[in-house]
Amino acid sequence: MPIKNRLAELHDEITGWRRDLHAHPELMFDTHRTSAFVADKLKEFGCDEIVTGIGRTGVVGVIKGKSDSAGRVVGLRADMDALPILEATGVPYASTEPGKMHACGHDGHTSMLLGAAKYLAETRNFDGTTVVIFQPAEEGGGGGREMVEDGMMDRFGIQEVYGMHNWPGQPVGRFAIRPGSFFAAADQFTIQVTGKGGHAAKPHETIDTTVIASHIVLALQTIASRNVDPVEQVVVSVTSFETESKAHNVIPGMVTLKGTVRTMDADVQDLAERRLVEITEQTAQVFGGQAQVDYLRAYPVMVNATVETEYAAAAARKVSGQCDDAPLVMGGEDFAFMLNARPGAYILVGNGDTAPVHHPEYNFEDDVIPAGSSWWVEMIETRMPANG
């Protein structure tokens, strides 16, 4: 694997940063320690400009190349936040914050981009400007949207932007990518079912919300099986079913359902939302109850630009010798907001045979670091080759 020699030398140091971040996970926008850690490192590296507080707790660093004949500005983005999960890895550097852990590898993403930033600030072997972006609140908070709405793209003149995510099950350091739609739109819904509670021995005197909610859960599966073209992608998942009573002998008067809708196409997204509301409300009415739907469009479909995808794949082939075709992913990714604002691409790098992301036994594989950092650097040095 043709890793940059300097990045191979920095492997242990970057691993140390990663494990420090792993031991101190922070959620959503509360990445105050992590953001300060990043800003301090960028200052230590000698970045030309460091700005904090973008998108609440985001950090941006600017690194100028030896020359700037074309005026090109390329952004590189990593996410910083952790997940509300109780860690079960047993590693010496495990989370010191009970109920919080880096279960998606954002500690690795941040550290790899810091490693690339150090290298780029040392060498400056490119013609243009690199903008390194450290984003909070990828895990459901929309930190990417907040940074874009805070004017980041225009403020720093970013013309194209690239992101990366580790991928368990893919060989360590091996890349995969696809043009076009890549990660799904991820919408959220909450359904409040109301009826008439009562004694479990007298169901005829009630309007049973557990029966209504159960029928709604089953009926919502017909959106995928009977409403959407089978060649399209849609996943409707009810993930929480909570009654107002915990007693064995009480039929509750209210049930709350929560879940997600994931799609790869805007028209399918519209159809799924409309049918979810219709099915929910009308199913409740059939049984004499009522249902209210609160539907939130969270992350849009993440779309890789065709030309920029090839740039990213070419850089990956320089690092690892090849770049595989990635499958469609029904998970959401708020890098979509940055790709809606500027052309760019998102790539996967193998994390090896590890537990899946969002799992209490997941851990980022430190052997990925040289490949990941090298890919960031290759993106800059190939998109903005130095003059002479």
> Looking at the domain assignment, is residue 332 inside a domain?
yes
Q: Are residues 89 and 215 in the same domain?
A: no
Q: Looking at the domain assignment, is residue 292 inside a domain?
A: yes
Instruction: For residue 189, tell me if it sits in a domain.
Output: yes
Residues 202, 95 share a domain: no
Angle CA 331–173–374, to nearest 5: 105
Grouping H, G, I as helix, E, B as strand and the rest as coil, residue 34 is helix
Identify whether 388 is part of a domain: no
CATH number of domain containing 260: 3.30.70.360
115 and 200 inside one domain = no
* Adjacent-strand bridge partners of 254: 194
Number of domains, the chain = 2
pLDDT at res. 2? 67
In this structure, are 125 and 20 located in the same domain? yes
The string over 17-42, giving b where at least 16 C-beta atoms fall within 10 Å of a residue's C-beta and e elsewhere, is bbbebbbbbbbbbbbeebbebbbebb
Of 240, 265, 299, which residue is a domain's last?
Answer: 299
Cα 170 to the center of its chain, rounded Å:
18
> Are 270 and 333 members of one domain?
no
Residues 227 and 267: their CA atoms lie apart, in Å, by: 12
- Let me know whether 233 and 251 are in one domain: yes
Task: Give yes or no: residues 56 and 85 share one domain.
Answer: yes
AA identity, residue 273 = E
Could you say which of 299, 334, 367 is where a domain stops?
299
Can you give the residue range of the structural domain that contains 52?
A: 5-182+301-383
Q: Contact at 8 Å (CB) between 332 and 298? A: yes
- Note whether 241 and 305 are same-domain residues: no
Whether residue 93 is found in the same domain as residue 30:
yes
**278: in domain:** yes
Same domain, 161 and 35: yes
- For β-strands 290-299 and 185-194, DSSP reports them as antiparallel
For residue 375, give the CATH number of its domain: 3.40.630.10
Helix (H, G, I), strand (E, B) or coil at 258: strand
> What gap in Å lies between CA 262 and CA 259, rounded to an integer?
10
pLDDT number for residue 8: 87
Q: What does the pLDDT profile of the chain (388 residues) look like in tens digits? A: 467 788 888 999 999 999 999 999 999 999 999 999 999 999 999 999 999 999 999 999 999 999 999 999 999 999 999 999 999 999 999 999 999 999 999 999 999 999 999 999 999 999 999 999 999 999 989 999 999 999 999 999 999 999 999 999 999 999 999 999 999 999 999 999 999 999 999 999 999 999 999 999 999 999 999 999 999 999 999 999 999 999 999 999 999 999 999 999 989 999 999 999 999 999 999 999 999 999 999 899 999 999 999 999 999 999 999 999 999 999 999 999 999 999 999 999 999 999 999 999 999 999 999 999 999 999 999 999 998 5
Based on the fold, state whether residues 253 and 177 are members of the same structural domain: no
* pTM of this structure: 0.92
pLDDT at 1: 45
3-class DSSP assignment, residue 147? helix
286-290 — which CB contacts under 8 Å span 24+ positions?
286/215, 287/195, 287/207, 287/208, 287/211, 287/212, 287/215, 288/195, 288/207, 289/193, 289/194, 289/195, 289/196, 289/207, 289/209, 289/212, 290/193, 290/194, 290/195
Residue 363 lies in a domain: yes
- Residue at a domain's end among 247, 270, 299: 299
Residue 174 resides in a domain: yes
Does residue 141 sit in the same domain as residue 189? no
